[in-house]
Structure 1
Amino acid sequence: MNEDQLLICRGQHLWLSPERTVFWEEEKTMILSDTHFGKTGHFRKNGIAIPQTIYKEDLQRFFSIIQFYKAQRVLVVGDFFHSHVNEELDWFLKWKRDFSQLQITMVKGNHDILPASWYEAAAIEIIPETLFSGPFQFQHDYDEKAQKNKNNIEQATDTNHPAYIFSGHIHPGITIKGLSKQSLRFPCFYFGKHHCILPAFSKFSGLATIKPKKEDQIFAIVNNQLIQTK
């Protein structure tokens, strides 16, 4: 396992991993977003030849990071699954039944369209829109303008301040420039003053370039290492 980065947020210890996850130490909870399990199978069903090894590698990373941290709960901040049921999701279901003691909570994303009966069979707790836990708020999509205009923001369960928000959805990426004017984009963790945008866990996903403010913290994922760019 590669070296992780400790970040303290609202008094909580968060371990950022180059495997695109966050381990919330106090709650023994693995936080991640946009796994898009079943996406390669969805493409193949529609006649696009995407190798199945992509999904197998993502699934193996998912299992390995949970075991490494001995997480008791997994919290997926949306787009856990990509589309309708296919063979790849059957593999996930089989694994989950073998590890029935693991608690999985999912805040629904725009791609999470499986029937309720499937989630029930997988023993996955479904949160329709927003989850409050400790000093944090979890939602799939973060609308910064709407959040600023929201005067009656709900309070977290154990703080007098508005909850710090974790979201996903946009698959954030940061551009790093070299000495000879070359530049490359990498997935990243974005930590702003009031919210975090998680990288897409799936490596079969695009990137949306973000433009951080001066006070923001950015952790780029480069060659399986975390590099703080600001």
Structure 2
Amino acid sequence: MAESMALDVAGETLLLLADRAVYRPARERLYLADLHLGKADIFRQAGIAMPSGGTQHDLGRIAALVDATQARSVWVLGDFLHGAIDSPQWRRGWEAFRDAWPALEFGVLAGNHDRALARAGLDLQLLGDAVEDGALSLRHAPDPHAPGHVLCGHLHPTLKVEGLPGRWPAFWLQARTLVLPAFSAFTGGRTPRVATGESLVACIHDSLLRVT
């Protein structure tokens, strides 16, 4: 398994995984955010050349994480979709994934790109806009009024690491919020303004690097 980093969040251990996900041992559950299935298809339809295989690559990464952690469920913290629900390109990949993991519980919180999910027929559980699960408040975007420690996505945090080219996806650790990096390999981002006491954890290939 890719390198992990244990965090004590509201009295519970969460594992940050270098492949842009969080594992929660107490629930045997993986959390990821901003999968954006079908995004490359939209670019191709607009005449912009994009490499194929993005959906299969991202779903293969989920499968590898499930296999490594033995997670019983996967929850996406919003923006599962980014394309049309009838697009055959990403649907074929998704259906092959579900065929390979029929017993895996797969849930999705509503994100701003997920309005069509209710009629998509994708063999997943729709979790609504917010879930309170023990000490954790699950959202798509940060919510300062949530009662628990927030796990969310939406912001696509990235980080430039000295000595390395480009920008790297990052977890953003705040006092009462953990923002996950975008899981999709085909998603941009921005470096947030980090306040005192906060930190970023960069996902660099199979390693994690914490920067305060």
TM norm. shorter chain > 0.5: yes
The answer to whether structure 1 residue 163 and structure 2 residue 163 are counterparts is no
- 2:206 corresponds in structure 1 to 224
Superposed, which structure 2 residues align to 1:193-208 within 5 Å?
193-208=175-190
- 2:130 corresponds in structure 1 to 130
Deviation of residue 220 (structure 1)?
A: 0.9
Contact 2:14 2:25 (C-alpha < 8 Å) held by counterparts: yes
Superposed, which structure 2 residues align to 1:1-80 within 5 Å?
1-80=1-80
The answer to whether structure 1 residue 172 and structure 2 residue 174 are counterparts is no
Partner amino acid, structure 2, of 1:14:
L
- 1:90 corresponds in structure 2 to 92
Give, in whole Å, the separation in 2 of the partners of 1:39 and 1:99.
Answer: 23
RMSD across aligned C-alpha pairs, in angstroms? 1.9
The gaps in structure 1 that reach 5 residues or longer are 154-161
Task: Find the structure with the greater CA-based Rg.
Answer: 1
Deviation of residue 96 (structure 1)?
A: 1.1
SS at match of 2:161: strand
Aligned length: 210
Partner amino acid, structure 2, of 1:56:
Q
Distance 1:67-1:133 versus aligned 2 partners, 3 A rule: same
Highest RCO, 1 vs 2 (Cα 8 Å, sep ≥ 6): 2
The gaps in structure 2 that reach 5 residues or longer are none
Contact 1:83 1:112 (C-alpha < 8 Å) held by counterparts: no
Deviation of residue 80 (structure 1)?
A: 1.0
SS at match of 2:194: coil
Please, which of 192, 197, 201 is the counterpart of residue 210 of structure 1?
192
Report sequence identity in percent: 27
Partner amino acid, structure 2, of 1:91:
G
SS at match of 1:61: helix
Contact 1:12 1:25 (C-alpha < 8 Å) held by counterparts: no
